[in-house]
């Protein structure tokens, strides 16, 4: 199996993911829209490519980890994009979280050039990216997934094949719905406990040992109490993911009342706190409560 892999998008998630591939012995060609991400990987042994097309031209698999649907479209289909440098047999694995509809459109365009695409968004945040313990939800042709799963196994501990193109993105959006509503539940529990004059840390100690425990209870609630809003996953990214979830719900005829509320609350935060961690949702709940 070839060890030539490309990586495009070297941000909070992309850098540690690319670094794990280097440590696993893959020959990595990288490109990023800004220099700091590139420089960090060059120091670890990666090779720099001039653009996305140049990455695609020298590898067998190219991974993208960028911001949103337009970013993936530009990198994949735009000028000097993957489609220009790729050849039949190349596999594009997009690990961004974007619109399932846009994913399917990109996959169709790439297929016209003989390029396969997997949508493989992840859950686990920066800690999971660093540890190589991400949960990866994969859409596309199953045989392509099986052929390239060894690469994904370097990046994640839980790999789930979800179905045809776009299915991985749908499952990731479901994940984001659960995450956002758990976050909101924690905020409301903290508000209720504080207003009722009970120590919220005692409440968390009790709840975390019972059926109410969750990742948000264990990881976000202590940060809320400490007013620590440093980002692990940013408000602006959660807002984007919920927007895609609501668009997908509209397309499929699903009604998501809780997700709509969470989206509105994150939108309240976006202007002033968009770059903060999603635990900043407590600010919106506090504002509503006066």
Count of beta carbons in the 10 Å neighbourhood of residue 186: 26
What's residue 121's pLDDT?
98
Domain carrying residue 271? 170-288
What's residue 1's pLDDT?
59
Structure tokens at 87: 């050849």
What's residue 287's pLDDT?
94
Q: Are residues 153 and 10 in the same domain?
A: yes
% of the chain with per-residue pLDDT over 90: 93
Active-site pick, 158, 172, 202, 283: 172
Q: Is 172 a catalytic residue?
A: yes
What's residue 192's pLDDT?
98
CATH of the domain at 240: 1.10.1040.10
Q: Are residues 213 and 98 in the same domain?
A: no
The label of the residue with tokens 């530009």 reads: 74
- Are the C-beta atoms of 5 and 21 separated by less than 8 Å? yes
The last residue of a domain, from among 129, 164, 199: 164
- CB contact burial 138-159 (16+ within 10 A = b; e otherwise): bbbbeeebeebeebbebbbeeb
Q: What is the pLDDT of residues 179-195, one digit of tens each?
A: 999 999 999 999 999 99
Q: Are residues 151 and 194 in the same domain?
A: no
The domain total for the chain is 2
What's residue 63's pLDDT?
98
Q: Are residues 136 and 184 in the same domain?
A: no
- Are the C-beta atoms of 266 and 235 separated by less than 8 Å? yes
Q: What is the pLDDT of residues 243-280, one digit of tens each?
A: 999 999 999 999 999 999 999 999 999 989 999 999 99
What's residue 54's pLDDT?
97
CA 192 and chain centroid, separation: 31
Q: Are residues 151 and 45 in the same domain?
A: yes
Q: Are residues 76 and 182 in the same domain?
A: no
Q: What is the pLDDT of residues 230-246, one digit of tens each?
A: 998 899 999 999 999 99
- pTM for the model stands at 0.94
Three-state secondary-structure class, residue 128 = helix
Q: Are residues 110 and 190 in the same domain?
A: no
Q: Is the pLDDT of residue 36 over 90?
A: no
Q: Are residues 110 and 232 in the same domain?
A: no
The last residue of a domain, from among 121, 137, 164: 164
Q: Which of 106, 132, 129 is nearest to 117 (CA)?
A: 106
Three-state secondary-structure class, residue 278 = helix
Pairwise CA distance, residues 147 & 156, whole Å? 16
Using CA atoms, how far residue 142 sits from 205, 217, 246, in Å, is 43, 35, 27
Q: Are residues 179 and 87 in the same domain?
A: no
Q: Are residues 160 and 174 in the same domain?
A: no
Q: List CB contacts of 191: < 8 A, sequence separation 6 or more.
A: 282, 285, 286, 289
Q: Are residues 98 and 12 in the same domain?
A: yes
Residue range 35-40: mean pLDDT, rounded: 88
Residue 219: is it exposed, middle or buried by C-beta count within 10 angstroms (0-12/13-18/19+)? middle
% of the chain with per-residue pLDDT over 70: 99
The last residue of a domain, from among 164, 199, 232: 164
Structure tokens at 100: 């399932």
Mean pLDDT of the chain: 96
Three-state secondary-structure class, residue 161 = strand
Q: What is the pLDDT of residues 99-124, one digit of tens each?
A: 999 999 999 999 999 999 999 999 99
CATH of the domain at 9: 3.40.50.720
Using CA atoms, how far residue 222 sits from 54, 124, 229, 238, in Å, is 45, 18, 11, 19
Q: Are residues 68 and 125 in the same domain?
A: yes
């Amino acid at each position: 199996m070839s060890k030539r892999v490309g990586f495009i998008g070297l941000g909070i998630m992309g850098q540690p993911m690319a670094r794990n591939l280097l440590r696993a012995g893959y020959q990595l060609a990288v490109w990023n829209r800004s220099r700091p991400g590139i420089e960090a990987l060059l120091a670890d042994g990666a090779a720099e490519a001039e653009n996305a097309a140049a990455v695609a031209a020298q590898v067998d698999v190219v991974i993208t980890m960028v911001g949103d649907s337009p970013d993936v479209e530009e990198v994949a289909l735009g000028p000097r994009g993957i489609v220009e440098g790729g050849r039949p047999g190349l596999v594009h694995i997009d690990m961004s979280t974007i619109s399932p509809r846009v994913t399917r459109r990109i996959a169709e365009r790439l297929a016209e050039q003989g390029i396969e695409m997997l949508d493989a968004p992840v859950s686990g945040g920066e800690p999971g990216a660093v540890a190589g313990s991400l949960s990866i939800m994969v859409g596309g042709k199953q045989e392509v997934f099986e052929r390239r799963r060894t690469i994904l196994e370097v990046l994640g501990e839980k790999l789930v094949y979800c179905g045809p193109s776009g299915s991985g993105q749908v499952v990731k959006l479901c994940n984001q719905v659960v995450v956002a509503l758990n976050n909101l539940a924690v905020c409301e529990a903290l508000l209720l406990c504080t207003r009722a004059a009970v120590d919220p840390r005692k409440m968390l100690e009790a709840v975390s040992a019972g059926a109410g425990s969750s990742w948000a209870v264990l990881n976000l609630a202590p940060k809320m109490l400490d007013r620590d809003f440093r980002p692990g996953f940013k408000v602006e990214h959660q807002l984007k993911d919920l927007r895609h979830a609501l668009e997908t719900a509209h397309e499929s005829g699903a009604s998501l009342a809780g997700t709509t509320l969470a989206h509105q609350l994150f939108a309240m935060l976006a202007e002033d706190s968009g770059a903060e961690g999603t635990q900043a949702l407590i600010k919106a709940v506090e504002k509503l409560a006066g």
